[in-house]
Amino acid sequence: MAKQGYHHGNLRQALVEAALDLIRAQGPQGFSLSDAAKAAGVTPAAVYRHFAGRDDLIAECARQGFVIFADVMERAHDGGRPSALKAFEATGRAYLGFARAYPGHYMAMFESGLRVSATPELAEAARRAGAVMTRAAQALAEHLPENRRPPAAMFAAHVQAMSHGIVELYARGAPGARSPFPPEELLETGIGIYLRGLGLLPADE
């Protein structure tokens, strides 16, 4: 059903919202610019006043997603409170929470095939989001001896890869992917194993 009643001057955001609905329903590659125009209740020609093409529209969906993602991660990290460990674990849980709450944004960000360097604004939003987890990893890694301390960016990338894998396999209902455990539990235990391997948790925790 076409969206109706957008206000003058807000067509750009109406198109973003229409694209997010289509991404959720059909995937980032499953719709055309004409589909987005129809869903927003305008002609395809009107879209080109705001976006150069479909990839440009998806890039804006991704940019807005990274802005929301960074805010979610910042709140979860909470300035490293109550401890570096708890704050780090909270960012992992926030990753799953974001994927569930904003599936259209998540798919535009990570499943559209667009490079984060597609626009300067997208690159900056992605950098800010990544910096939160890197900062959390850095604070936690400082509890290790310097000669056993992994680079914070690598530390963060490992946990992001684990989080992303759990989202893709289990948190979003991928066909044929069933787990007897909740995604949050899978992530928590996986991070625990990783942190124990680094020596950041006692062996019996």
Euclidean distance between CA atoms 163 and 192, whole angstroms: 13
Pull the structure tokens for residue 170: 């289990």
Question: What confidence score (pLDDT) does residue 106 get?
Answer: 96
Euclidean distance between CA atoms 156 and 146, whole angstroms: 17
Q: Which domains does the chain have, with CATH numbers?
A: 1-51 (1.10.10), 54-198 (1.10.357.10)
CA distances from 30 to 24, 64, 111, 153, 190 (A): 10, 20, 12, 33, 33
Euclidean distance between CA atoms 182 and 185, whole angstroms: 5
Question: What confidence score (pLDDT) does residue 9 get?
Answer: 61
Question: What confidence score (pLDDT) does residue 176 get?
Answer: 55
Burial of 169 (0-12, 13-18, 19+ CB in 10 A): middle
Pull the structure tokens for residue 78: 């909470």
Question: What confidence score (pLDDT) does residue 7 get?
Answer: 47
Which positions of the chain have pLDDT values less than 50?
Answer: 1-8, 205
Euclidean distance between CA atoms 91 and 84, whole angstroms: 11
Question: What confidence score (pLDDT) does residue 126 get?
Answer: 94
The tens digit of pLDDT for each residue in 155-167 reads 889 999 999 999 8
